[in-house]
Amino acid sequence: MPQDPLQFYKSLFDTWQRPATEFWDAALRSPLYLEPLKSALDSSLITQKTLQDFSEAWQHAWGLATRRDWEMVQHRLNQIDTQLRRLNRRVDKLAG
Amino acid sequence: MFPFWNDIAAGSLDALARIHKLAALQSGPPAAVAQTPSEVVYTENKLRLLRYRSENRVHPSPILLVPSIINRYYILDLKPGRSLAGFLVARGYDVWIVDWGVPGPEDRFVTLDEHIDGHLRECVGVVLDETGRNSLTLLGYCIGGVLASIFSALHSETVRNLVTLTTPIDFHDDGLLSLWARREHFPVDRLVDAYGNMPAWLLGASFKLLSPTSDLANTWTLWERLDDPARLDDFRALNRWVEDNVSVAGEAYRKFVVDCYQENLLVQNRMRINGRAVNLGDIRAPLLNVVAQRDHIAPCGSAAVLNELAGSRDATLLSLDGGHIGAIVGRDAVEDFWPRLDAWLAERSA
Nearest Cα neighbor of B107 from B196, B178, B20 is B196
Q: What is the pLDDT of residues B225-267, one digit of tens each?
A: 888 888 888 888 998 999 899 999 999 999 999 999 999 999 9
Write the pLDDT tens digit of every residue in B73-107.
Answer: 999 999 999 999 999 999 999 999 999 999 999 99
DSSP E strands in chain B: the ranges are 39-44, 47-52, 63-66, 95-99, 136-141, 159-165, 272-273, 276-277, 287-292, 315-320
Q: Averaged over B123-152, what is the pLDDT?
A: 97
State the Cα–Cα distance between residues B20 and B26, nearest whole angstrom. Answer: 10
Q: What is the model's pLDDT at position B2? A: 57
In order of B97, B229, B334, the CA distances from B225 in angstroms are 31, 7, 19
Length of chain A equals 96
pLDDT confidence band for B3 (50 / 70 / 90): low
Which pLDDT score, from 0 to 100, does residue B189 have?
Answer: 97
Contact B213 A45 (CB under 8 A): no
Which residue of A4, A17, A45 is in closest CB contact with B213? A17
Query: What span, in angstroms and rounded, lies between the C-alpha atoms of B198 and B95?
Result: 30
Q: What is the pLDDT of residue B166?
A: 97
Q: How many CB atoms lie within 10 A of CB B8?
A: 12
Mean pLDDT score, A31-58: 94
The half-sphere exposure of B126 on its side-chain side, counting CA atoms within 13 A, is 25
Least-confidence region, from A29-33, B113-117, B209-213: B209-213
Q: Average pLDDT over chain B, rounded to whole?
A: 93
Q: How confident is the model at residue A1 (pLDDT cuts 50, 70, 90)?
A: low
User: Which residues of chain B from 178 to 197 reach within 8 Å of chain A, CB to CB?
Assistant: 179-180, 184-187, 190-191, 193-196
Positive or negative, the CA dihedral B88, B89, B92, B98 is positive
* pLDDT band, very low/low/confident/very high, at B216 (cuts 50, 70, 90): confident
Q: Which pLDDT band, with edges at 50, 70 and 90, does B136 fall under?
A: very high
ipTM: 0.89
Burial-class residue B165 by CB neighbours within 10 Å (0-12, 13-18, 19+): buried
Chain A nearest C-alpha distance from B194 (Å) = 5
Tell me which residue in A5, A28, A71 faces B8 most closely, judged by beta carbons. Answer: A5
Q: How confident is the model at residue A2 (pLDDT cuts 50, 70, 90)?
A: low
Arithmetic mean of pLDDT, B323-340: 94
Compute the nearest-CA separation of A75 from chain B (Å).
5
Of B1, B42, B43, B44, which to mutate for an interface test with A (greatest number of A Cβ within 10 Å)? B44
Amino acid identity for residue A74 in this structure: Q
Active site residues of B: 142, 295, 324
Cβ distance B190 to A45 less than 8 Å, yes or no, reads yes
Q: How far lies B96's CA from each of B65, B127, B209, B287, B333, in Å?
A: 6, 8, 33, 19, 20
Distance from CA of A80 to the nearest CA of B (A): 10
pLDDT at residue number B56: 87
User: pLDDT tens digits, residue range B154-195?
Assistant: 999 999 999 999 999 999 988 899 999 999 999 999 999 999
- Is-contact B147 B273, C-beta < 8 A? no
Share of chain B above pLDDT 90, in %: 79
pTM for this model (two decimals): 0.92
DSSP for B54-105 reads -TT----S-EEEE--SSS-GGGGG-STTS-HHHHHHHTT--EEEEE-----G
